[in-house]
Amino acid sequence: MHVAIIMDGNGRWATQRGLPRSAGHAEGAKAVRTAVEVAARAGVDTLTIYAFSAANWARPATEIAALMRLFGQYLFTETRRCIEQSIRINVIGRRDRLSDSLLRSIEQSERLSAAGSGMHLRIAFDYSSHYSIIEAARRAGRGAELNAETFHRLLQEVDHCSSPTGEVDLLIRTGSEQRLSDFMLWECAYAELYFTDCLWPDFDEQRFRRALEDYAGRQRRFGALGGDTG
């Protein structure tokens, strides 16, 4: 099972409490730890979280700097925890716009956790599905004979995927918005969508399990007829 999460609402969570937006992002990082642990215990094979989109570069420079520091700190503190749980880390997205120090942290986390045989934790950072699809098509070249499987492999190469990953089964978005926001558009072609008003820092174990239970009760048809054709 592949679960993807758009972690929305950190800034609003902080604003509602009269705190700087950076405080919301810090609380959001704590919620990530909870989500990773819950997903691993629930038997999720792959968890992909949307940490920083390509569009986020348009935010104020101070907020971007805070997000970069927070991501570096997260990799430093959580890599050991992931190794202990046999979780392997993979950061997907562009890397040409990140600082050398952050790149070193990413590469170190991926290398140290590579032997993990449990859940695959993918962190989408400086990620844009539009960019990935266009770049994959460019690499394929004019006149290339493509099918869904070969194009998916090209996408994973563009995104620096460390190992093959299947399409998304369940997409969760917090924060009340109901859109994909340029996140894994190809991989979410048949994903079940789950939207919640809960702001990301408040997305605890109970709420995550509620989303998984909701998914378990759905009938996936992939365009075909299900058991109830009425």
Residues designated as active site: 8, 56
Q: Name the residue type at position 41.
A: R
Residue with tokens 């998916």, as numbered in its chain: 152
The partner residues of 49 in beta bridges, in order of sequence, read 5, 123
CA distance 4 to 191: 9
The residue length of the chain stands at 230
Task: State the DSSP string of 100-123.
Answer: HHHHHHHHHHHHHHTT--S-EEEE
Q: Across the chain, which distance is largest between two alpha carbons, in Å?
A: 57
Integer CA distances (angstroms), 111 to 44, 75, 90, 115, in order? 22, 12, 9, 8
Name all contacts of 23-31 with Cβ < 8 Å and 24+ positions apart.
Answer: 24/201, 25/66, 25/67, 25/70, 26/70, 27/201, 28/200, 28/201, 29/70, 29/73, 29/74, 30/201, 31/7, 31/200, 31/201, 31/202, 31/203, 31/204
